[in-house]
């Protein structure tokens, strides 16, 4: 039974992006314009050139402790997608605020889910659709081991709606210039330092509210 979890894309499209918010990446390590596999059109999309390694996220996206006056309990994660912030609620009307990258147009979502598990240096498994168009990724069909070049970054939090995997994650990124932008296929990305910090705070079972 659904519990307030709302998607703006179909399940078929979501399954096709099981790689989550991962961008197609250069195996040489040279990042150019960001390129995504779009499961709706079945093709790769290149995003505006301003999304590049030359971009430095504004200072407002730096991690900081802020005042929190909402009604969520300590230990809750709140994601304000429109403002590109993630809040981890602390006791005493405070929260840690992180800058995030969120879903691009057509891949946004909202609702209340929970953290079902946590992983350090998660494996990334590219979807079959991506491998068929990028044969060089075939060697990662069984998963790319965790590490600095892995698109999921240093840590991942797996989000479930009841007992159902939403296929969305809160994870790190090896593309920190994407923080503060709408760039993903629905996942929430933090820079690696921030996801490591958040990972150390959040407990399995913690509620996640996406606004």
Mean per-residue pLDDT, 172-185:
85
The alpha helices in the chain, defined as continuous H runs, are 11-16, 128-133, 192-201
Judge whether 79 lies within some domain: yes
The residue annotated as part of the active site, out of 187, 188, 202, 210, is 187
Short-list 98, 72, 107, 106, CA closest to 157: 98
pLDDT digit string, tens, across residues 88-145? 999 999 999 999 999 765 566 789 999 999 999 998 877 777 678 778 888 888 888 8
pLDDT at res. 113: 96
Catalytic-labelled residue, pool 137, 171, 182, 202: 171
Output the average pLDDT for the chain.
78
Does residue 205 lie within any of the structural domains?
yes
Asked if the model's pLDDT at residue 205 lies above 70, the reply is yes
Residue 1 counted as domain residue: no
Report how far residue 162's alpha carbon sits from residue 200's, in angstroms, rounded to the nearest whole number.
23
Q: Please say if 117 is a catalytic residue.
A: no
pLDDT of residue 172: 95
Q: Is residue 192 part of a domain?
A: yes
Range of the domain at 135: 6-210
User: In this model, does residue 23 exceed pLDDT 60?
Assistant: no
pLDDT of 175 higher than 80: yes
The answer to whether residue 202 scores a pLDDT higher than 50 is yes
> Can you give the pLDDT at residue 12?
39
Predicted local confidence at residue 44, as pLDDT: 58
Q: Look at residue 15 and tell me whether its pLDDT is greater than 90.
A: no
Number of domains in the chain: 1
Output the pLDDT for position 106. Answer: 55
Quick one: pLDDT at residue 38? 46
Q: Is 103 a catalytic residue?
A: no
Sign of CA dihedral 79, 33, 56, 130: positive
Residue that wins the pLDDT comparison between 61 and 24: 61
In this predicted model, what pLDDT tens digit does every residue of 57-97 receive, in sequence order?
Answer: 889 999 999 999 999 999 999 999 999 999 999 999 999 99
Q: How far apart are CA 207 and CA 78, in angstroms?
A: 8
Any idea what the CATH number is for the domain that residue 205 is in?
2.40.440.10
What is the pLDDT, as a whole number, of residue 121?
A: 94
Asked if residue 74 is part of any domain, the answer here is yes
């Amino acid at each position: 039974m659904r519990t307030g979890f709302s998607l703006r894309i179909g399940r078929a499209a979501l399954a096709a992006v099981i790689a989550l918010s991962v961008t197609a990446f250069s195996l040489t390590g040279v990042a150019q314009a960001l390129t995504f596999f779009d499961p709706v059109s079945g093709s790769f999309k290149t995003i505006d050139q301003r999304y590049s390694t030359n971009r430095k996220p504004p200072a407002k996206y730096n991690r900081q402790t802020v005042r929190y006056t909402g009604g969520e309990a300590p230990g809750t994660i709140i994601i304000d997608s429109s403002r590109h912030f993630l809040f981890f609620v602390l006791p005493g009307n405070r929260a840690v605020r992180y800058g995030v990258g969120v879903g691009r147009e057509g891949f946004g979502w909202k609702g209340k889910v929970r953290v079902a598990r946590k992983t350090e240096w998660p494996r990334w498994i590219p979807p079959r659709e991506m491998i068929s168009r990028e044969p060089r990724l075939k060697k990662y069909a069984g998963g790319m081991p965790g590490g600095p070049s892995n698109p999921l970054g240093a840590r991942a939090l797996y989000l479930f709606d009841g007992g159902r995997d939403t296929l969305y994650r809160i994870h790190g990124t090896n593309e920190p210039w994407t923080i503060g932008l709408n760039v993903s296929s629905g996942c929430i990305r933090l820079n690696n330092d921030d996801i490591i910090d958040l990972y150390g705070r959040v407990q399995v079972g913690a509620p996640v509210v996406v606004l």
